[in-house]
Amino acid sequence: MPTEKEVYDGHADQYERLILREDYENNIPAAIDKIKPFKLADVVELGAGTGRLTRFLADSANSVRASDLSLHMLATARDVLSQKDAHNTLLCVADMRRTPYASNCADMVIAGWSFCYLAVWGEQQWQAELEAGLAEAQRLLRPGGVLIMLENYGTGFETPSPPPHLDPYFSFLKNEGFQDTWFRTDYAFNSLEEALDLSGFFFGAEMAEKVEREQWRTLPECTGLLWKRY
């Protein structure tokens, strides 16, 4: 089981295999649209990875500026988006605390399963790192815009069970005025073998054992959606 940094630096192919199985009921676009319709919106995406969100945002948004620190991950996003002929989308390598975009350029700033790493990797300065990320998002947003984050509320669970190490992060966001809701983003694998392979690679041996014990070809997952309007 690689670390998150190892995945982002060298396992985009495996990551792409995983996300193609995630949210088989397509709940993510509807959940985002309830908070802020993205049709014809100008969107900035932070920590875009291989374009898990980018690919459907690009279908309806006026523009999508998507960035990530990992060129390796963005290379896969580029290939995916080139097949969609997404001319309204710009990809660039950038730190989410210091993007190259103009102030007041976005109706929505969104970060999927990435903003939490400012806290996780921030060590003793984690609160300052989060504050820098929030300040950058606010700079990018037009008045009335919204910052949306999607985070893991528990893989292998049918009801929310967020990873305990993220408790301080979620408490910080609550104190900053963020609202939250949750929904299911279950993985539907093509076979038990694929479920064992990918769940073990990304979530560890204990998860793979649970998948085998439960004979899960559909792996339950809860996703949290947190948002704040500016």
Domains plus CATH for the chain? Answer: 4-229 (3.40.50.150)
pLDDT of residue 2: 78
Any idea which residue has 């400012």 for tokens?
Answer: 118
Cα separation, 1 vs 4, in Å, equals: 9
Which tokens go with 195?
Answer: 């479920």
DSSP 53: T
pLDDT of residue 31: 98
DSSP 143: E
Element (DSSP H or E) covering residue 123: none
Task: Indicate the pTM of the whole model.
Answer: 0.95
pLDDT of residue 223: 98
Cα separation, 133 vs 210, in Å, equals: 36
Cα separation, 105 vs 112, in Å, equals: 19
Determine contact, residues 93/28, Cβ cutoff 8 Å: no
pLDDT tens per residue across all 230 residues of the chain: 878 878 778 888 999 999 999 999 999 999 999 999 999 999 999 999 999 999 999 999 999 999 999 999 999 999 999 988 888 999 999 999 999 999 999 999 999 999 999 999 998 999 999 999 999 999 999 999 999 999 999 999 999 999 999 999 999 999 999 999 999 999 999 999 999 999 999 999 999 999 999 999 999 999 999 999 99
Phi first, then psi: give them for residue 203, nearest 5 degrees: -115, -5
Burial bucket for residue 159 (CB in 10 Å: 0-12, 13-18, 19+) = exposed
pLDDT of residue 144: 96
